[in-house]
Homo-oligomer: A and B are copies of this chain.
Amino acid sequence: MTKTSPEAVTAWARLMRVSRQLVERTEDALKANGLPSLAWYDVLHELAEAGEGGLRPFELIDRVLLAQYSVSRLLARLEADGLIEKLPVSDDGRGQTVRITPGGREMRRRIWAIYGASIAELMGDRLSAQELKTLAGLLGRLRAPPAND
Contact = CB atoms under 8 A, between A and B. Distances in A.
Nearest to A19: B19
A132 interface: yes
B133 A7 contact: yes
Interface size class of A (residues with CB under 8 A): 35 or more
A133 B11 CA distance: 7
Given A124-B5, A132-B5, A133-B7, A14 B140 contact: yes
Contacts of A20: 19, 65
Contact of A125 (B1, B15, B136): B1
A17 B117 CA distance: 19
Contacts of A17: 65, 143
B4 A143 contact: no
Contacts of A121: 1
B8 A119 contact: yes
A82 interface: no
A126 interface: yes
A87 interface: no
